Amino acid sequence: MRSDLVVTFALFLLHSVVSLRTDQQYWKELAKNELEEALQVKWNVNTAKNVIIFVGDGMGPNTVTATRIYKGGESHRLVYEKFPHMGLLKTYSADKMVPDSACTASALFTGVKINKDTVGVDASVKRKDCARSLNPETRLKSLAAEALSAGKAAGFVTTMRVTHATPSPLYAHSADRLWECDAFVPPAAQQCKDIARQLIEDEPGRSLNVILGGGRRTLVSSPDDSDNPWECTRKDGRNLIEEYKKDKESRGLKYSVVTNNRELRSFNANDTDYLMGIFADSHLKYEYQKDKRPEGMPSISDMVEAAIKVLRRNSTGYFLMVEGGNIDMAHHRGRAKVAINESAAMEEAVKLALAMTDEEDTLLIVTSDHTHTLSINGYPDRGSNIFSIAAPSTFDKVNYTTLSYGVGGPDSFQYYVKTEGNETKVERRDASLNNTDSMDYHQIAAIRDVENIHGGGDVTIYARGPYAHLFHNVHEQHYVYHAVMYAAKMGARSFAHSCAASAVTLATLLVFTLLVHSDR
């Protein structure tokens, strides 16, 4: 044990020395290496047999930067930051400058920008307009549905409820993202199916090959309501997990249903075409809180590994969406270290996906749905802890942290009123009075609200594999769907590819014929 500590400390010292180099040669070597890397980039114009999209929910550029520093220092690069192609996505929705996850995920996965708080329906559907959402013309077809139509496998992994805002646009059409189960659907909208029922009963939900995440309460009726006003508890007496099993059995399909680490590790991936794993009543716990024992819940990497093993059984290819949703949850609570630790865990899942796939036939994308109001402040020394004190303010001489939020909940609003004689003033709590490196610490926010809220900035998108070069500048967020469709030759894009290929072939034959005849 002592030798391990010595090695760890030695590596820390070595990293500190290397990361703090400031000589001219160090900077020139960094730039030279990047230039050589850039000169090796070539376009991959193979068909994307497989597509994997990682969505770091709420993982704005500052979260990525903080994750980089957290994992290796300022000069470090995350694995997806080494991808050869990247761009920016504009995240505004059809009706809001600053969006939510339901409308941004819908844009990513359906190719159309829609209204905030709606799922998989176009912008003619206002929030709670059940009747309009039933109109087939308003319903949008997702990348998962397109993949299934093309004969591919499709599925998703999430650290959230499987009925939550990011995964639901893959299979559902709803006028309200909150209609995750029957208990939240108002009496006036009873003709609209809740999102959980759409997952189990309707296409493409019932044909998804992989469904991994949380949300047992939305799927299985329970007499006990959750204390969380956002969390729907099923009340119609139905057990949709059992209905999932019966559906697969009635169709003679090979399936597995798992509920914990032991079951996920032991199911027979070689004899499973449909995998459902529900590991929590609501969202999965944060990665640092998870029980690693057999009865505990899996990491995001564990779920990704199982998903790919099942999906790659389809020789035609597959589509997989992976959501690191607890990045967003932690930001909403003002717990920046937890959010960044979740971001770091998602990067490990990206590494695993890279190891399990081939860039010649797999388009792998890492992006986000929206930002948060996280800021990186002050002038902290290079090599210092990203979660530590930046400096005292020159205005009030009170310490503040490197990370802070623009808008936050009660725990992040660290101001108090102080009265001295006839004078009353507002003062800020000194951050150095707390352990700012704790997972429980709430970074300060300038404006108080019920919780930390989303930002409206652009998000980064990184891509590797076939047609990754289509992500190359500032794009509309819904462009992702169209680029993926083109890369994978799915739907109308397949026709466009065929036409283009035919045109090139005909032109080549024509030129060849003319050359032959000219020689004669």
Helices 326-333 and 336-356 pack at an angle, to 10 degrees, of: 170
H/E stretch holding 132 reads helix 130-133
**51-373+457-488: which CATH architecture?**
3-Layer(aba) Sandwich (3.40)
Write down the pLDDT at residue 114.
98
Query: What CA–CA distances, in Å, run from 3 to 8, 10, 347, 474?
Result: 9, 10, 29, 50
The predicted model scores a pTM of 0.91
CB 183 within 8 A of CB 176: no
Q: How far apart are CA 152 and CA 206, in angstroms?
A: 15
Residue 191: which H helix or E strand, with range?
none
Distance CA 458, CA 461 (A): 10
Q: Which helix (H) or strand (E) holds 241?
A: helix 240-250
Residues 141-180 have pLDDT tens digits of: 999 999 999 999 999 999 999 999 999 999 999 999 999 9
Span 261-309, pLDDT tens digits: 999 999 999 999 999 999 999 999 999 999 999 999 999 999 999 999 9
86 three-class SS? strand
Active centre residues (catalytic): 101
From first to last of its 520 residues, what are the pLDDT tens digits of the chain? 444 444 444 444 444 444 589 999 999 999 999 999 999 999 999 999 999 999 999 999 999 999 999 999 999 999 999 999 999 999 999 999 999 999 999 999 999 999 999 999 999 999 999 999 999 999 999 999 999 999 999 999 999 999 999 999 999 999 999 999 999 999 999 999 999 999 999 999 999 999 999 999 999 999 888 888 889 999 999 999 999 999 999 999 999 999 999 999 999 999 999 999 999 999 999 999 999 999 999 999 999 999 999 999 999 999 999 999 999 999 999 999 999 999 999 999 999 999 999 999 999 999 999 999 999 999 999 999 999 999 999 999 999 999 999 999 999 999 888 888 888 888 899 999 999 999 999 999 999 999 999 999 999 999 999 999 999 999 999 999 999 999 999 986 554 444 444 454 444 444 444 444 444 4
Count of helix runs (H) and strand runs (E) in the chain: 15, 19
Q: Which two tokens stand for residue 292?
A: 């690693």
Round to whole Å and give the CA distance between 368 and 365: 10
Tell me phi and psi for residue 404, to 5 degrees. Answer: -155, 170
Query: Where do the domains of the chain lie?
Result: 51-373+457-488, 389-448
155 strand-pairing partners? 210, 320
Q: Can you name the residues that pair with 380 across neighbouring β-strands?
A: none
From 409, 480, 440, select the one nearest 143 (Cα to Cα). 480
